[in-house]
Amino acid sequence: MNRILLIGNGFDLANGMKTSYTDFLNDYWKNSFLEYQMKKKSFEPYECDNFFISATNYFLDRNCENYHDVKEYLKNTRSNFKIKNKFLQLISEKLQLKNWVDIEQEFYSNLLSLLNSKEINEDNLIKELNNNLDNIKRYLERYLLNISQSFTIITEIQNYISQEISSQIVFSEISEDAKNKLFEQAWNSVQYAFRNQLPALRKSSLEPLPPSVLKFLSTENIRNRNLFFKSLHDNSNNILDDISQTVFVNFNYTKTEDYYISPENHVIHIHGELDNNANPIIFGYGDEYDENYSEIENCGNDRFLENMKSINYSQTGNYKNLLSTLNEDFYQVCILGHSCGKSDRTLLKTMFEHENCASIKIYYREFERDGNLYDNYLDIYKSISRNFDDKTKLRDRVVNKTLCKPIVPIDIQKRNLS
């Protein structure tokens, strides 16, 4: 059985990297303001890629840490502040109001608004929105490169996560459907060996069975299907041998998995990599199952599809490599810092509903609020549920919370993350 480690932005955050959209946007406005202060000359306007500030002779000795600070400063210095990148303005305003923003989800919402607006200049507006997103994408890539280059792994966190991702798959984590398939495979192999009078219980004739299983099989239970299944069930802790292959499916653009991979591991950067033209970053939206997606496809304007992830998967062999992995053998998916939200539903649905998916194990985030300990296990479970048409499969495949663990326990966080 294979193990697929599904890595999202929460994995980088759990390792201590400042890679959230909030971190990125705050850094953008902080550095943009510093650049404005350095370049500004009295009585002259200032202009850059994304905004314009009118001339003023008012100056205040103040640092700005985010969009709100910049707005307040310019208001107090009686400066006219105009943001040219309307999408940047929108997500910055939403961040200010909610202290959180999902850029990809906001992009899709804007896309749908344009689709339904029936504007005469629709083509120009969608072109502007795509250009706005491309501009933000460039700044995001630059920001993540700087963060990656200055990052140092935290040893205690690295040791904990390394131990988890190299641990054995426990039989109780496997779905009932996968167990039955494994039992059936084993039964068929035993019967083939028995019918052809192959050397008794020779490993090569019982390929689906690990050697640890052979010791409890007897002549009696290999002839009786019910006894055979009971023997397997009673000795289930011995059935799963070493993991055949561990595959890192990284949805981030960073390479934090480099601190955890072994030479035999396989890595798929499904959304591209920083500073790699052969594997460009894919940033946009990826839910072909949304009820509005067919309208986007059928509207006749290809600009609406420019930043759809499923379209851009065709630029590399990453998606095909992932499909090959899914088709190869049974696998367990381990969720490491991925929200499993709708912006990746096309890909997640393929992974979760595949016939070889034996289980989905959630590594949840632990956090404290007002002296109480909370976690986001159920939030991730709810998001995963949106990827299943068959809810019976959902309940069978997702590992219950008692068998799951935090991605980084709160005590380790307290010792290492400020």
HSE at residue 58, side-chain half, CA atoms within 13 A, is 11
Q: Give the separation between CA 115 and CA 316, rounded to whole angstroms.
A: 29
Does residue 208 sit in the same domain as residue 345? no
Query: What mean pLDDT is predicted for residues 248-272?
Result: 96
Scanning the structure block, which residue is given the tokens 């980088």? 12
Q: Which of 111, 134, 149 is the last residue of a domain?
A: 149
Does residue 411 sit in the same domain as residue 264? yes
For the chain, the average pLDDT equals: 89
Structural domain harbouring 261: 2-17+154-173+242-280+315-416
No. of H helices and E strands in the chain? Answer: 17, 11
Query: What mean pLDDT is predicted for residues 333-351?
Result: 96
Does residue 192 sit in the same domain as residue 275? no
* Residue 235 confidence (pLDDT) above 90: no
pLDDT digits (tens, 9 = 90+) for 136-146: 999 999 999 99
Does residue 353 sit in the same domain as residue 229? no
Query: What is the full DSSP assignment across 270-301?
Result: TT--TT-TTS----SB--TTSTTHHHHHHTS-
What is the pLDDT, as a whole number, of residue 201? 47
What is the pLDDT, as a whole number, of residue 56? 74
DSSP, collapsed to helix, strand or coil, labels residue 239 as coil
> Does the residue 306 lie in any domain?
no
Q: Give the separation between CA 262 and CA 280, rounded to whole angstroms.
A: 24
* Residue 244 confidence (pLDDT) above 50: yes
Q: 335 — alpha (psi -120 to 50), left (phi > 0) or beta?
A: beta
71-85, 150-164, 237-251, 287-301: lowest mean pLDDT where? 237-251
Does residue 321 sit in the same domain as residue 200? no
Token pair recorded at residue 30: 């902080």
Say if residues 257 and 267 touch (Cβ distance below 8 Å). Answer: yes
pLDDT digits (tens, 9 = 90+) for 78-101: 888 999 999 999 999 999 888 788
CATH number, domain containing residue 357? 3.40.50
Does residue 347 sit in the same domain as residue 322? yes
Does residue 247 sit in the same domain as residue 168? yes
Does residue 271 sit in the same domain as residue 375? yes
Domain total for the chain?
3
pLDDT digits (tens, 9 = 90+) for 167-200: 988 888 999 999 888 878 777 766 666 666 555 4
Nearest CA-CA partner of 408 in 373, 362, 365, 360: 365
CA 44 to chain centre: 45
* Residue 356 confidence (pLDDT) above 60: yes
> Does the residue 290 lie in any domain?
no
> Does the residue 304 lie in any domain?
no
Does residue 113 sit in the same domain as residue 165? no
Give the CA distances from residue 246 to residues 207, 240, 267, 400, in Å, rounded to whole numbers and listed in that order.
20, 15, 9, 22
Does residue 274 sit in the same domain as residue 342? yes
pLDDT band at residue 205 under the 50/70/90 scheme: very low
